[in-house]
Amino acid sequence: MKKATKTDILIIGGGPAGATAATLLAQKGFQVQVVEKAKFPRAHVGESLIPFCYGLLNELGVLEQVQAMAFPKPGVRFTNESGERYSTYCFANVIEGPEKISFHVDRANFDKILLDNAKEKGAQVLEEAMAKDIRFEKNRVSLDVELSNKDLQTFNAQFIIDASGQNTFLAKKMRTRKKYEHMDRTAFYTHWHIEDPMEELKEGIQQLISFENKDKGWIWVVPIKKQRLSVGVVLNNASIRAWKKENPTTEDWMQGVYLDTLHKSKQCMEILEHASIEHKLATTGNYSYYSEVKYGERFCMIGDAGTFIDPIFSTGVFLGMKSAFIVADALEKQLNKFDNQALATVYEDINGAYVLIKKLIDNFYSKSFNFYGSDGEFQNNDSAIRLLHFMLSGDFFEKQATYNEFFEKLKNPVFFKRYQKMAFKDHHESVFTRRTCN
């Protein structure tokens, strides 16, 4: 074991949350050490970003680099499995300026841009270095890290940020990781090559196809390049078990359940008519969880290391990065002893954002809340449509009280009608009729 290395702040994980925190804290003058188990670029799921990422990328100084490599995302289209009923949410309906066009990204390249930026801004980044053991001592935290040659290296710091993603390094060590039991789902995904995608995909509109009984599953189609689609299937684990029972002889059950689900959707088959699979199928299971404790005197968790919920609204990258921004500000105050409550305050906001998204997700899966319209109540509800546009764009931090009130109203038909009277002038009818945002 080599001599321990001292730093101010240690960060486990160099994904979007860890890289963002590293950049900002280094800019604030802290000595920052990131340990990342992979060698970047490394593949990652989660390719569709929401518009509220725009400002964060700009502040980090990487907006132009991301714009140069990304595919534009002007909106999101929800359809039922046949494609006959749909609604198209164009961010331009509520957002002005260039941020109305969001991004689809190849995560390997996107994450590398963010991590390289952290290095440029002064953070030390050690790749192929896996956090193994942690000790909280009186005045410091100690982390043992395994290097690529299997040597162990110890780092001592004032504070540690866990940004280890679904690995949930600290929550596992502290045994604070809890599952959202009712979100017991698994995702299967891969990339497809397509010669000539349909108009909506050429324009960059993300497609979310859901089965009438949403517990049975939904499909995402994300155009990450002109001729490359990311296509994923999310299924309730009970449905997967049922499928396996019905198909006991299928050799590759994952590929089987994936292709079978795609084939059940006429809309999806139309999209993929001339497309072919490019990569081996990947899968993520049991991914909705939270840590009961997310911060303490010498640690905090950001991004997926602290909470992850169903990816239907493409919120993960934004939440990780936004949390990194506000945690970095709070840490500056707390470590410089200006405000001992700074972390406690920002975690109220962070937890509030996850609560809000969970409400949106629960509403997506409940049959009464019909995102793809036609017989949905929202066709007549102007302000609900407007609020939905904002939430699909990522407005989870600033107006939590308004949106929580909105979800409360939803439960009560009398109060709900008051929303219908609020005006939304121009665009809402088109949500249920237009196929593109152009």
What's the alpha-carbon Rg for the chain, to the nearest Å?
22
The 3-state DSSP class for residue 344 equals helix
What is the pattern of x (binds ligand FAD, CB under 6 A) and - over residues 219-248?
-------------x----------------
Q: Which of 7, 9, 11, 16 binds ligand FAD (CB under 6 A)?
A: 16
Answer for which of 5, 45, 72, 355 binds ligand FAD (CB under 6 A) is 45
Of 28, 77, 24, the residue nearest 48 (C-alpha): 77
What distances in angstroms separate CA 40 from CA 68, 128, 160, 197, 283, one per listed residue?
19, 9, 22, 30, 20
In the complex, the smallest distance separating the C-beta of residue 260 from ligand FAD, rounded to whole angstroms, is 18
Q: How far is the CB of 28 from ligand FAD (least distance, A)?
A: 19
Among 81, 304, 382, 395, binds ligand FAD (CB under 6 A): 304
With CB under 6 A as the contact rule, the residue among 8, 27, 38, 225 that binds ligand FAD is 38
| Residue with smaller CB distance to ligand FAD, 15 or 83 | 15
| Window 270-289: residues binding ligand FAD (CB under 6 A) | 284, 287
Among positions 79, 190, 314, 334, the unique one binding ligand FAD when judged by CB under 6 A: 314
CA–CA separation, 52 and 316 (whole Å): 12
Does position 109 bind ligand FAD by CB under 6 A? no
Q: Which residues of 76-95 are buried (b: 16+ CB within 10 A; e: fewer)?
A: bbbbbbebebbbbbbbbbbb
Note whether 225 and 191 are within 8 A (CB): no
Of 86 and 110, which has the nearer Cβ to ligand FAD? Answer: 110
Minimum separation from the CB atom of position 412 to ligand FAD (A) = 32
Residues of this chain, 133-172, that bind ligand FAD according to CB under 6 A: 163-167, 169
Q: CB-wise, 161 or 385, nearer to ligand FAD?
A: 161
User: What residues pair up with 187 in beta bridges, in sequence order?
Assistant: 234, 284
DSSP assignment of 308-336 equals E--GGG--HHHHHHHHHHHHHHHHHHHHT
Does residue 15 interact with ligand FAD by CB under 6 A?
A: yes
Dihedral over alpha carbons 349, 353, 355, 360 (to 10 degrees): 160
**How are beta strands 152-157 and 206-210 bridged, if at all?**
unpaired
d(C-alpha 2, C-alpha 275), whole Å: 52
Question: How many residues interact with ligand FAD (rule CB under 6 A)?
Answer: 39
Footprint of ligand FAD on this chain (CB under 6 A)?
12-18, 35-38, 44-49, 130-131, 163-167, 169, 187, 232, 284, 287, 303-305, 311, 314-318, 320
